[in-house]
């Protein structure tokens, strides 16, 4: 389809669509098509008379019909496919429906259903709006990005994955494309970032998933995952190309494997505007929950002791950001490591432990520190033993080990801590380190809890506890909006901290059992609040290329509302 047939202003809340196309071309353009909502006059002017049913309907009526179709879909994956088809047919209606039912539909378009959609990508493929880049064809990277037909000033976000560390299901090859699409859907629904100002990208570097390689329907490159120097060269080529073509965009890394995620972020974070949600987004939302909980305990953050069970990309990212918060609270930066005890699959991370990765080493304890502990095996110190010896006040789980926070672990912790902060964060529910109802029972309702999966409200005694869900959707949409409003040149640790602190400030401190974090139903307010904190921090750091004149208004005006844009019907182009 010729891009010149449609020109859409995506820079403000009130979009204007200029149309020179006629007839069926309009009905197959997702942003131009409004189906039966075209007025009689518009149908006559656009050559649509007779191509639509006679009755003109409102977007509210269209929403009711689409929602009924959604409810009739028999499974979460079927609902995902139904919504994807709606998005590809009528983008405004899709986002309007999503915004009206965001809390209900978020688990469908994002986690956990997105995991199944990723696994089934090659089997259920019906088309995809995004960019597929193959390591076997590096010469096509620039052309492929240009073929997406976006100008330099039109792009605020590029979400990219290489699909190695998808959620809890690992290497999914080219199917990881769906996680980039899902993230952008949340950016739009929560923060109002216009869907036409973002690009989802998958880097196809092969896959080590034998099930995919042996499937006749698999759509990606059929070879083992490329690593080492050739992989790094491909990443460098992509970064150089995308930042040259879209100099105002934030580059969002998603679901890279642990071996590459930290390394890539460290390599580029000081020179371009880039962000890794698995490391920084997860850390920020957990820090927000920690800050909110710490306020309730009355114990200053630097006095807390933290055990993190699961020292992978997310776990170490969480530790890094809590350390930053401790330093801000007055602890000398060189002393902050002493408060952290991290465990991997082999137990407590000790300096001479087998398999310790570079990004874990700052948190490795010395052998002398644990020499006096009572343990069964000094080379495999268990979580139970760490909790008994350390007496932590904060326990965070990113291990994907269901039930790891046993009754023994929790009661041992609670025996030495009046308000234990316990966060079983692993997704999905089947991998959660503990059920919050059990944690409340084992602590007699004293625990302050945040989880990775949604658990809702749990009654203990006479108190109804609303369990906070530490969902990254509370952070990354607002971060992206704040960055785009001021066109920040980088994403700094200070901006990540500002996002977490702003989120923590939205907690209701006065109701017993109140959630440590806002509800998913409040994402628009959350995103705007986070965006303001991020944008103001970027300005203070001298990183804003477009300073704000009125922060509230500047942010509000950039939050696109899913309404049919005002049409300007231009003369038809010559064939």
| Cross-strand pairs, 341 | 307
| Separation between Cα atoms, residue 196 and residue 202, nearest integer Å | 18
Exactly one of 95, 183, 218, 497 is catalytic; name it.
183
Q: To which H or E segment does residue 48 belong?
A: none
**Three-state SS for 77?**
helix
Helices (H) and strands (E) in the chain, counts: 22, 17
DSSP codes of every residue in 110-145 = STTHHHHHHHTHHHH----SSEEEETT-GGGHHHHH
| Separation between Cα atoms, residue 182 and residue 200, nearest integer Å | 9
Catalytic site residue 464? no
Find out whether 93 and 563 touch, Cβ atoms under 8 Å.
no
Q: To which H or E segment does residue 523 belong?
A: helix 523-540
| Separation between Cα atoms, residue 96 and residue 370, nearest integer Å | 56
| Separation between Cα atoms, residue 465 and residue 237, nearest integer Å | 50
Q: Which long-range contacts (CB under 8 A, 24 or more apart) does 524-528 make?
A: 524/99, 524/190, 524/191, 524/192, 524/559, 526/190, 526/474, 526/478, 527/190, 527/191, 527/192, 527/477, 527/478, 527/481, 527/559, 528/191, 528/478, 528/481, 528/555, 528/556, 528/559
Exactly one of 95, 110, 218, 564 is catalytic; name it.
110
Catalytic site residue 363? no
Residue 244 makes CB contacts below 8 A (sequence gap 6+) with none
Q: Please state, in angstroms and as integers, the Cα–Cα distance from residue 427 to each residue in 111, 237, 320, 396, following that order.
A: 9, 33, 21, 13
Tokens of 414: 């609670």
Residue 234 makes CB contacts below 8 A (sequence gap 6+) with 135, 138, 203, 205, 226
| Nearest C-alpha neighbor of 503 from the set 477, 483, 542 | 477
Tokens of 353: 């432990």
| Separation between Cα atoms, residue 41 and residue 54, nearest integer Å | 12
Tokens of 110: 């994002």
Task: Report phi then psi at 94, rounded to 5.
Answer: -60, -50
**Three-state SS for 93?**
helix
What are the catalytic residues?
110, 183
């Amino acid at each position: 389809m010729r891009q010149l047939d449609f020109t859409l202003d995506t820079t403000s809340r009130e979009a204007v669509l200029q149309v020179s196309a006629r007839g069926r071309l309009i009905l197959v353009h997702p942003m131009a098509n409004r189906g039966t909502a075209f007025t009689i006059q518009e149908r006559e002017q656009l050559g649509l008379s007779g191509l639509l049913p006679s009755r003109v309907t409102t977007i509210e009526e269209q929403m009711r019909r689409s929602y009924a179709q959604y409810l009739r879909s028999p499974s979460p994956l079927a609902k995902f496919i139904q919504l994807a088809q709606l998005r590809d047919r009528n983008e405004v209606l899709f986002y309007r429906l999503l915004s009206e039912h965001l809390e209900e539909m978020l688990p469908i378009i994002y986690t956990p259903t997105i995991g199944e959609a990723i696994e089934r990508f090659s089997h259920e493929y019906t088309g995809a709006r995004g960019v597929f880049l193959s390591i076997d064809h590096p010469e096509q990277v620039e052309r492929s990005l240009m073929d997406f037909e976006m100008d330099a000033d039109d792009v605020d976000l590029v979400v990219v994955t290489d699909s190695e560390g998808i959620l809890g299901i690992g290497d999914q090859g080219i199917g990881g494309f769906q996680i980039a699409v899902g993230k952008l859907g949340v950016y739009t629904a929560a923060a109002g970032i216009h869907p036409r100002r973002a690009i989802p990208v998958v880097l196809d570097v092969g896959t080590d998933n034998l099930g995919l390689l042996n499937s006749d329907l698999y759509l990606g490159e059929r070879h083992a995952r490329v690593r080492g120097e050739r992989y790094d060269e491909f990443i460098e080529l992509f970064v150089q190309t995308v930042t040259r073509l879209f100099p105002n965009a934030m580059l969002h890394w998603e679901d890279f494997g642990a071996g590459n995620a930290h390394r890539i972020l460290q390599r580029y974070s000081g020179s371009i505007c880039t962000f890794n949600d698995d490391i920084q987004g997860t850390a920020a939302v957990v820090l927000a929950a920690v800050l909110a909980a710490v306020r309730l305990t009355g114990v200053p953050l630097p006095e807390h002791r933290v055990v993190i069970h699961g020292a992978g990309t997310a776990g170490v990212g969480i530790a890094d950001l809590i350390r930053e918060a401790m330093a801000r609270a007055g602890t000398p930066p060189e002393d902050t490591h002493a408060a952290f005890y991290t465990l991997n699959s082999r137990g407590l991370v000790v300096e001479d432990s087998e398999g310790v990765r570079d990004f874990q080493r700052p948190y490795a304890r010395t052998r002398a520190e644990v020499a006096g502990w009572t343990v069964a095996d000094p080379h495999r110190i268990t979580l139970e033993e760490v909790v008994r010896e350390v007496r932590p006040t904060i326990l965070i789980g990113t291990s994907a080990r269901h039930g790891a926070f046993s009754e023994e672990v929790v009661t041992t912790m609670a025996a030495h801590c009046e308000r234990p902060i316990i966060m079983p964060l692993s997704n999905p529910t089947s991998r959660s380190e503990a059920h919050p109802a059990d944690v409340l029972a084992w602590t007699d309702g004293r625990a302050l809890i945040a989880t990775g999966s949604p658990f809702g409200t749990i009654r203990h005694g006479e108190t109804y506890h609303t369990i906070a869900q530490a969902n990254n959707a509370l952070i990354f949409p607002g971060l992206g909006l704040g960055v785009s409003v001021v066109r920040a040149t980088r994403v700094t640790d200070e901006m990540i901290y500002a996002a977490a602190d702003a989120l923590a400030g939205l907690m209701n401190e006065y109701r017993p059992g109140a959630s440590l974090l806002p509800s998913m139903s409040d994402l628009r307010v959350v995103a705007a609040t986070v965006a303001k904190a991020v944008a103001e921090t970027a300005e203070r750091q001298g990183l804003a290329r477009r300073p704000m004149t009125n922060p509230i208004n500047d942010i509000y005006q950039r939050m696109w509302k899913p309404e049919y844009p005002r049409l300007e019907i231009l003369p038809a182009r010559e064939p």
